[in-house]
Chain A
Amino acid sequence: MKPAEKIERLIKKSRYKASPDAYNKALGSFLQAVDEHERQKSALTEPNIRRIIMKHPITKLAAAAVIIIAVLASLPFIGGKKSGIALAQVLEKIEQARAYMYTMEMKMTGKLMPFAQESKILATHSDDYGVKWYWENTDPNTGKTTSLQVYLLPEKKMAITIMPETKQYIRMPFGDELFTRMKQQNNDPSEMIRQIMKCEYTELDRTVIDGVEVQGFRTTDPDFKGALGSDATSIELTLWVDVETRLPVLMEMDINSGEQMQVTGTTYDFRWNVPVQAIDFEPNIPEDFKPFSTDGVMMPGMTEADAVEGLRLFAEMTGKYPKKLNMMDLAQEIAALNNILMEELKKLKEEMGDTTEMTNEELRNAVMKKTESTFLKKLMEDMGGTTEMTNEEFRNALMKKTMEIMRPLQSIGFFYMTLVADKKEPVYYGESVGPDDADKVLLQWKVSDDHYRVIFGDLTAEDLTAEQWKEFEK
């Protein structure tokens, strides 16, 4: 061996290792600095939510989900803790209507929206066939209008969205839980009434709207905030009912979620007992329309198991759990997470240089080899059998697969929302409990008066009696 090589080897050998004591002391000192820094940061900084948020389509979807929920949430208003006589009559009348239509106009502003959004929805609800919406969005700055046709078809367990401007469509199958919930909302008003009766409302003086004498009912009950994932700071819903027919004629809604989102909406032009046929709920997709890249991706599940899967995935990707589970905050965290993965893919692409000559299979293998991300590895593994795909097909398949893998993350929010909507009093500790906290409660909710369900930091779950739960709380 040459002297220079021997010296090089000798130098490489000169490793330095701290004693365990010195190491622990140094690490402790650093972590102390971390804690101090985080304390100062949380006191001083306000995240630029808007910038992160609206950059990502997933956030837009989540925002859309919130809006849809807001619409659905407005329906169960009919009910109350008072005598309930007048509203009971309204319910009775609505129960008799097998199908009805209405028009809804909404305006959404706030940090969650990149610009004020004005929407007009023409809705048809049928107990037998499902729900159909014609949805028009107008950008008030440009006046540009885009439209969507949305079909929620319980019997087919499918949501279909048609986008005429881009000549595309998306089919989203949904699971049994969502199906059951839709059935409850569409076909079992008594179930709805049981839930609504828990809310407070006030009766307003009679007045005349469009020549019709109406009776008003207003609620600002905080229980309604739950329907939005508990983050709305205030909510006001006013329903005007025709005193003669006992059917709703106008509904006004005002939901304020602080700086994040403000929604005002008016629902009018109710038409009850409209004749509908199965063919009215058959989506008409023109032959030249193409499936959107996410076509066929299942809607997020809503069960405890789905939520646990989502929490596990989130922890794998970030090392911790989401800070909050309401839709808006969760959407921000998912968006930020998704952003970094997309950036990573972009970087990998840059690192690999010109890949135009690569086959899909070669590209897949190259990414698998280069990436250290378990998520990207899984994504690429699942992308097998792509040899025959065109580049565009490969890109679409990649996006679809990403949506599928990320799907459980959305389930976390949906599950939490069902707990809130079902008034199960969920309490979540994601800000202080992490994956290593096996003996700490991450999420708890009430199953019945004397039973609680608890998910721990390690994602194991247990049923506790009220007594056991109290013991645990100590």
Chain B
Amino acid sequence: MIQDRLLIFRCKNGCRAAFRRIYEMYESDLRTLAANLLDDKAAAEDVVHDVFVSFLKVVDRLELRSSLAGYLKTCVANRARDYLRTRQRQTIAVNNAEQVIPGNDGPVRLVIQSEELQKLGFAMSKIPYEQREAIVLHLHGQMKFKTIARLQNVSIKTAHTRYRAGLDGLKLILNSEVQE
């Protein structure tokens, strides 16, 4: 925590090395988070870049209440949702159907190249976004349900239910693949 605060202090003083350090420390986690939320490599890159640039703009006024990692992950979650809303509008306009845009491969499929993970990626894209968000934020963002609930503007119980329902949904889709 103090490391975060000192980094922010340096950023407020215009220390380029501090911005770079923050980027190096958190970029990978944020990219993973965004990619898993969006299942879209290019969009994840854009979202993470936007988050860092907006951090740059607000850092002078930033009063950190939790960890910097938590703050940045929340920003990614919010941006990812905004992105999806925009994309949904655009996609609906083009083709009134939920589909994977050609050439827009998910990072799971592209990078890890594991058959199991490919299937998981596909399954993730099939469950409702709020369930997927709860799962990704909990497992990749290490967020507690209390934080997820606040972010989704629901009760803790609902956030937890979404998480469980999401896992059940994945289990159903992957039923034949995941063995006891």
Measuring CB to CB, which residues of chain A are less than 8 angstroms from any residue of chain B? 1-4, 6-8, 10-18, 22-23, 26-27, 29-31, 33-35, 37-38, 41-42, 317-320, 336-337, 340, 343-344, 347-348, 370-373, 376, 434, 436
Bound-state Cα–Cα, A371 to B3, Å:
8
A9 to nearest B CB, angstroms?
9
Q: Say yes or no: A22-B45 contact (C-beta < 8 A), given A4-B171, A33-B56.
A: yes
Q: Is the CB–CB distance between A320 and B15 below 8 Å?
A: yes
Of the residues B3, B45, B124, contact of A26 by C-beta under 8 Å: B45
Q: Is the CB–CB distance between B178 and A7 below 8 Å?
A: yes
Of the residues B48, B49, B117, contact of A13 by C-beta under 8 Å: B117
Q: Say yes or no: A7-B167 contact (C-beta < 8 A), given A318-B10, A320-B15.
A: yes
Q: Say yes or no: A33-B53 contact (C-beta < 8 A), given A15-B112, A16-B36.
A: yes
Can you pick out 22 interface pairs between chain A and chain B where the beta carbons lie within 8 Å of each other?
A: A4-B167, A7-B120, A8-B139, A10-B117, A10-B120, A11-B136, A16-B35, A18-B45, A27-B20, A27-B27, A31-B19, A38-B14, A38-B16, A41-B14, A319-B10, A319-B17, A320-B17, A344-B2, A371-B1, A373-B2, A373-B3, A376-B2
Task: Using CB atoms, name the residue of chain A closest to B174.
Answer: A7
Q: Is the CB–CB distance between A17 and B120 below 8 Å?
A: no
Q: Say yes or no: A17-B6 contact (C-beta < 8 A), given A11-B139, A30-B19.
A: no
Q: Is the CB–CB distance between A318 and B9 below 8 Å?
A: yes
Bound-state Cα–Cα, A13 to B48, Å:
20
For B44, the chain A residues whose CB sits under 8 A away are 16
For A15, the chain B residues whose CB sits under 8 A away are 28, 32, 111-112
Of the residues A8, A42, A319, A372, contact of B2 by C-beta under 8 Å: A372
For B135, the chain A residues whose CB sits under 8 A away are 11
B65 to nearest A CB, angstroms?
10
For B112, the chain A residues whose CB sits under 8 A away are 13-15
Of the residues A10, A26, A41, A319, contact of B116 by C-beta under 8 Å: A10
Beyond contacts A31-B20, A319-B10: 9 other A-B pairs, Cβ-Cβ < 8 A, are A16-B36, A16-B107, A16-B108, A41-B14, A318-B15, A320-B10, A320-B15, A344-B5, A373-B3
Question: Is residue B23 contacting chain A, with contact meaning CB distance below 8 A?
Answer: yes
Question: Is residue B31 contacting chain A, with contact meaning CB distance below 8 A?
Answer: yes
Q: Is the CB–CB distance between B14 and A42 below 8 Å?
A: yes
Of the residues A6, A22, A27, A370, contact of B178 by C-beta under 8 Å: A6
Question: Is residue B170 contacting chain A, with contact meaning CB distance below 8 A?
Answer: yes
For A14, the chain B residues whose CB sits under 8 A away are 32, 36, 107-108, 112, 117, 120-121
For A1, the chain B residues whose CB sits under 8 A away are 180
Question: Is residue B104 contacting chain A, with contact meaning CB distance below 8 A?
Answer: no
Is the contact region of chain A dominated by helix, strand, or loop, or is it mixed?
helix
Q: Is the CB–CB distance between A12 and B57 below 8 Å?
A: no
Q: Is the CB–CB distance between B10 and A7 below 8 Å?
A: no
Q: Is the CB–CB distance between B27 and A318 below 8 Å?
A: no
A21 to nearest B CB, angstroms?
12
Interface size in chain B (residues, C-beta < 8 A): 55
Residues B80-128 near A (CB distance < 8 A): 107-108, 111-112, 114, 116-117, 120-121, 124
Of the residues B16, B27, B120, B178, contact of A23 by C-beta under 8 Å: B27
B15 to nearest A CB, angstroms?
5
A93 to nearest B CB, angstroms?
51
Question: Is residue B140 contacting chain A, with contact meaning CB distance below 8 A?
Answer: yes
Question: Is residue B149 contacting chain A, with contact meaning CB distance below 8 A?
Answer: no
Question: Is residue B155 contacting chain A, with contact meaning CB distance below 8 A?
Answer: no
For B56, the chain A residues whose CB sits under 8 A away are 30, 33-34, 37
Question: Is residue B52 contacting chain A, with contact meaning CB distance below 8 A?
Answer: yes
B41 to nearest A CB, angstroms?
8
Q: Is the CB–CB distance between A8 and B32 below 8 Å?
A: no
B132 to nearest A CB, angstroms?
10
Q: Say yes or no: A319-B32 contact (C-beta < 8 A), given A22-B45, A344-B5.
A: no
Q: Is the CB–CB distance between A318 and B13 below 8 Å?
A: yes
Q: Is the CB–CB distance between B6 and A317 below 8 Å?
A: yes
For A373, the chain B residues whose CB sits under 8 A away are 2-3, 6
Bound-state Cα–Cα, A4 to B172, Å:
11
Of the residues A16, A29, A319, A434, contact of B31 by C-beta under 8 Å: A16
Question: Is residue B18 contacting chain A, with contact meaning CB distance below 8 A?
Answer: yes
For A348, the chain B residues whose CB sits under 8 A away are 2
B37 to nearest A CB, angstroms?
11
Of the residues B3, B35, B49, contact of A29 by C-beta under 8 Å: B49
Residues B31-68 near A (CB distance < 8 A): 31-32, 35-36, 41, 44-45, 48-49, 52-53, 56-57, 60
Q: Is the CB–CB distance between A16 and B27 below 8 Å?
A: no
Bound-state Cα–Cα, A15 to B48, Å:
15
A409 to nearest B CB, angstroms?
15
User: When each residue 159-177 of chain B gets 1 if its CB lies under 8 Å from chain A and 0 otherwise, what string results?
Assistant: 0000000011011001000
For A2, the chain B residues whose CB sits under 8 A away are 180
Bound-state Cα–Cα, A23 to B117, Å:
23
B139 to nearest A CB, angstroms?
5
Q: Is the CB–CB distance between A319 and B18 below 8 Å?
A: yes
Q: Is the CB–CB distance between A35 and B16 below 8 Å?
A: yes
B71 to nearest A CB, angstroms?
15
For B16, the chain A residues whose CB sits under 8 A away are 31, 34-35, 38
B63 to nearest A CB, angstroms?
10
For B36, the chain A residues whose CB sits under 8 A away are 11, 14, 16
B32 to nearest A CB, angstroms?
5
Task: Using CB atoms, name the residue of chain A closest to B48.
Answer: A26
A39 to nearest B CB, angstroms?
10
Q: Counting chain A CB atoms within 10 Å of each CB, which of B6, B56, B135, B139 scores highest?
A: B6
B140 to nearest A CB, angstroms?
7
Bound-state Cα–Cα, A26 to B48, Å:
9
Task: Using CB atoms, name the residue of chain B closest to A318.
Answer: B10
Of the residues B5, B111, B174, contact of A16 by C-beta under 8 Å: B111
- The 9 closest A-B CB pairs, nearest first, are A373-B2, A16-B35, A16-B107, A372-B3, A16-B32, A34-B19, A14-B108, A38-B14, A340-B9
